[in-house]
Every structure is written in C-alpha cells, then in structure tokens.
Structure 1
Amino acid sequence: MNLKMHILNIYNCENRKICCQIFESGSSNVVLIIASAMGVKQSFYQGFSEFAEENGISVITFDYSGIGNSLNGKIKYNKDFLISWGNRDLEAVIKYSIEKFPNHKKVVLGHSIGGQLIGLAPSSVDLDKIILMSAQSGFWGFWKGFNKVKMFLNWHLLFPILTYFIGYMPSKKFSKMESLPKNVAEEWAKWCRNPNYLFDYISEDKTFFNKIECDITSVSFDDDFFAPKKSVDWLSGKFQNAELKRKHLFPSDFNVSKIGHFDALKSDFKNSIWKFLLEEIKK
C-alpha cells in the first residue's frame, strides 16, 4: 500500500458509509476528487491518483453506495438510487474536502456518469475547476447505425428484464462494470430512454448545472463507444454559466490505435494524457 494513501469512511446525509481513499501530497495546494464511472470501483483510479500525488496534487477517490467497499450486505437488498450518488455521496465527499482542505484549490474529475453527477451535488457550486472525461448523456438516440439499435435494446429490454427477475443488474457477469443495485439500474435505464435524459425527472431547483461558474474542461475520445461526441457535447452544454473548454481527441493524436472509454486512465498514457490532465487540474 502507498504509505501516503489511507482509507477513510465518511457518511452521507442518510448515514450511509462511503469508503474513500486519500492520496495526500505534503506539497499540495490542490485537492482532486475523482467521481467514478458507472459501476467502476475506486481502485481503477489508483494509478492515476498516485501519479497526481507524486506531482503535488492530493487526491480523494471513493466508491458510490452499493459499489465496491461502499456496499453493505447483499446487493439484492440495496435500496440506493442513482440520483443519491450525486446529491448525497459525491456531495458528502465534496463537503469533506472543503472542511479538510480549506485553503486548497478544489477540483473534481468526473469520469462518464461521474461527470453527470457533478450537476446534482449542491456543493459543486463551490468548486474551483471541473474536468469532465467522457461525460455524456446516455440517451440511445446519440448512437448511430446498429449501435443505436444495441443501445435501444439495452435500455428498453436488457436492463428492465434482468433487474426485474434477478433483483439487481448483474453487469459484472458480462461487462467491466460492477453489478448495480436495482434502483440505480432502473433509474439509469429510465434516463437513457429519454431524449432529455435526467432533466425530465429531477426538478430544476435540485440540479446545479447552470449554477456552476468555474472553469470546465470537457474531454472526449473519438473511438469511445460509450460516449459519442454528440452526447458529450450535449451534456457539456448543460453547464451554461461555466467557462467551458471542449477537447475532442483522437487515438492518432497519441500514436495509438485505441483509447476508448477507459484506457486514458491506464498507465499506458502516463506520459501523454495523464500529463495533459495534470496541467488542466493545476490551471
């Protein structure tokens, strides 16, 4: 274990345990919170977190309720909702970072759904910088050709049927995601069936996208199946009052054949994309 990394449990407003890992840099004046992608455990981000810590950035990672070390008991009996991952779990971590690091620059890197959840956390308005990585709308209409059919069937048939009969979404059996609590899976599928995504299900006074005014860098990758460029553009546009910088990158920019949805945060890109992210976090 990294001697500068320690595990901490904090509790959201429902007194649900949120398991965090803190990579604390002694020379840091920046604290970075990583909001994970859907069904991705915080351990996936450890390599990048250690890299950031070695370069003078303190990092907090965490597992959402019902995922990884924040799962208490059997997933079949977990009652968490997707919206609570943003307005309770991420919110609790942001508030903790404000209290623990009062004089630090506060940054959140939201990967995929983590970027969506930023707009549901009330304390996101107090952030100094946001990095959106492959953060998108999941509405199936943003995909093209046969991929559009696949996504339509995913949200209209696969998710509803499996969660109904099994009692949770057993995504760990056939994907890179951890299995998802029933309410999380059903809520996500509902959002992804709607062209206006989550915005038709959450009242405007409980969303904070247009209240955030800090600098935002939104990054997407041309070969990312899970985040087509138009879906990323759509979500980025919801941060209407932020200073937005939009970057759409190609594998050829880094002399590689693929990047996709996850590889940018793997050590293969330590000397390229990781350095780019580091610069954006510190700006």
Structure 2
Amino acid sequence: MDAAPDDVFIDEISFPATDGYALTGTLFLPRGAKRHAVLINSATAVPRKIYRGFASYLAHRGCAVLTYDYRGIGDSRQPAMVGYNQPKSLVGFKASMSDWAAQDVTAAVRWMRERYTTLPLAYVGHSFGGQALGLIANNTEISRAAFVASQAATWRLMTSPEKYRVFAFMNLIGVPLAHALGYAPGWAGIGADLPKGVFLQWADWVSSPRYLFDSKLPALENFAKFKGELRALCFSDDPWATRPAVELLTGGFSAIKPEVLTVKPSDVGAKAIGHFGFFRPEHRDTLWRGVAEWIQGE
C-alpha cells in the first residue's frame, strides 16, 4: 500500500446513504489550502483501499478526496454479531447495482457537495463507478468527471477469448452459485463477496448487447442531465474496458461530447496496465499526474 505524504491528513468516516444505511469512507485532506473536492467511486467488488495511493496523491495536490465502500462491500459490510472482526453473511442482504448508484453514490456526492460548498466537485469513476454517474439524479453537481477503465461492460465488446470466459462464468457458474448460496462468493474469482441482487443485475447487464442501456431503469434518464466535462481513459491491454465498450458508455451522456483517450502501456513506460493497473503508485508521475492536472484544470 502506498504511504500517504506527510502533508496529507487521513480520517476514517461514516456517512448515511439516502436510505440511512451507514457507509464507511476515508477522507484525504491536504494540510494546506483545499482547492478542489474529489469523489472516487469504486469498481464492482473492489474495496476502497486500492484507491488509497491515488487519493493521497490528489490530496497532496490540494484536493479534499473521499473514497468509500458501497453497501455490502469492504467496511460498508455489516460486522457479524459473534466472532472477532468477522463480516456478517450476505445471505438475505438486499442490494443491487442500481441501489448502489441511487442510494450510495448519490449520498456520497451529496455529502461532498454539502461539506465543500465552495469548491469545484470532481468525480473519478473506476469501472462501475463511472457507470453510476449516469444513473444518479444529482450528477449536475459534478463539474468534471474522469473515468478510469469505465465501460458498458457487455461481454460482446470484450476481447477474445476473455469475452467467452466472462459469459460462461457469469451465466454457468456465477448465477447458479448466487442462487444456491444466497450471495456471490469472492472465491469464485470476482474479487470481494457480492450481494446476490448486485451480482444477478450485473450478470443480466453483461449478457445484454448494450449493457445497462438495455434495462428498463427509470434512472437512465439521468445520463442526459450531466453537463460537466468528461474524460475517459481506456487502456490497450484491458480486455474488459475496450475502447468500443468505453465509447458505448460515454455515448450515453447525450448532452455533452465526452473525450475518450486510449493509453498503451508503452506510452507511460509500463509493461502492463490492464483494468486495475492505473492505481499502482508507479504511475504517480504519468497517469496520476495527467488525470490530476485535468481535474484541476491545469
């Protein structure tokens, strides 16, 4: 884990989702003047801790930054009543990806906007975190959004042979497991454990030609509300967030003209980046700096 700079103050916090559910987050603050506020929104089944280094870097540059876990993930998963530091079972836990957006992401945006009323509010979305921007009604509060490997994740737009592995896993292993166990276990290869409703909605979207755009969600109307600046990064060695998949997602923001940039690992002196590599500290002076300067309008 990347150590925080000495000039960054880190505070573990809790804040309520729109329905009152307690979400856990980490606030990264510069010890000097705050010039921007930034909300980092996680990928599916990814605890917020992987964003710690990047959040510290942004705070070092004068940003007030919040990372947080969606309900049922990381520290926003309820603890067990018995057993030392054990998470409560997700069996029977009610949540979906659209709930994450409507109740958790919406609340995080509101919390940051209410706390930092005079600062421009930027939004960093990793994978699902970018998708959620289009589903929240208060995305009008965001001045700039930076997407990192964020896509309309239909299996059809993934690279071969990964696309066939994903389709087979989701439908032949993941869905039956979620029904049998009452949740989707992380040991099956998805990262963290996922609530059953989250995984089943995710599998349905992945199996649909246009991902979440083929759903009947009323919240899809919020895509057209976003009027801020949007830059989306895709990486040439990422089998999931391919450029066509990134363009399918960003194309949903009909009121603006999003900017999509493709980065090759060789462009930044790396051997690989993939779906998660952006957040490795080795990219501090390349990828991190580029996104930070864009967020801060430099």
TM-score normalised by the chain length of structure 1: 0.95
Show CA shifts across 1:178-210 (max 9, x none).
111111001100111111211232444553111
Indicate if the aligned counterparts of 2:143 and 2:228 stay in contact, CA closer than 8 A: yes
- Provide the secondary structure at the position in 2 that maps to 1:207: helix
Matching residue of 2:19 = 14
Matching residue of 1:262 = 276
Matching residue of 1:246 = 260
- Aligned equivalents of 2:110, 2:89: Cα separation in 1: 28
Matching residue of 1:84 = 99
Matched, 1:215 2:229: yes
- Provide the secondary structure at the position in 2 that maps to 1:103: coil
Matching residue of 2:43 = 37
Matched, 1:28 2:42: no
Show CA shifts across 1:93-126 (max 9, x none).
1001111000001001000011001111111122
Cα deviation, residue 144, structure 1: 3.9
Counterpart of 1:157 (choices 167, 172, 182) is 172
Indicate if the aligned counterparts of 1:41 and 1:68 stay in contact, CA closer than 8 A: yes
- Aligned equivalents of 2:219, 2:44: Cα separation in 1: 25
- Aligned equivalents of 2:219, 2:94: Cα separation in 1: 24
**Structure 2 residue identity aligned to 1:140:** W
- Aligned equivalents of 1:41, 1:232: Cα separation in 2: 22
Matched, 1:51 2:57: yes
Matched, 1:63 2:69: yes
The worse-fitting range, judged by mean Cα deviation, of 149-158 and 269-278 is 149-158
Counterpart of 2:246 (choices 219, 232, 244) is 232
Matched, 1:280 2:294: yes
- Aligned equivalents of 1:170, 1:124: Cα separation in 2: 32
Matching residue of 2:119 = 104
- Aligned equivalents of 2:33, 2:58: Cα separation in 1: 12
Change (3 A) 1:144 1:246: closer
RMSD of equivalent CA atoms: 1.6
- Aligned equivalents of 1:280, 1:175: Cα separation in 2: 34
The alignment of Structure 1 onto Structure 2 pairs a total of residues equal to: 282
- Aligned equivalents of 1:23, 1:148: Cα separation in 2: 37
Percent sequence identity is 26
Counterpart of 1:182 (choices 171, 196, 200) is 196
- Aligned equivalents of 1:226, 1:205: Cα separation in 2: 24
Cα deviation, residue 12, structure 1: 1.3
Cα deviation, residue 229, structure 1: 1.6
Change (3 A) 1:39 1:254: same
**Structure 2 residue identity aligned to 1:37:** A
- Provide the secondary structure at the position in 2 that maps to 1:75: coil
Indicate if the aligned counterparts of 1:213 and 1:243 stay in contact, CA closer than 8 A: no
Regions of 4+ moved over 2 Å: 143-148, 199-207
Matched, 1:5 2:19: no
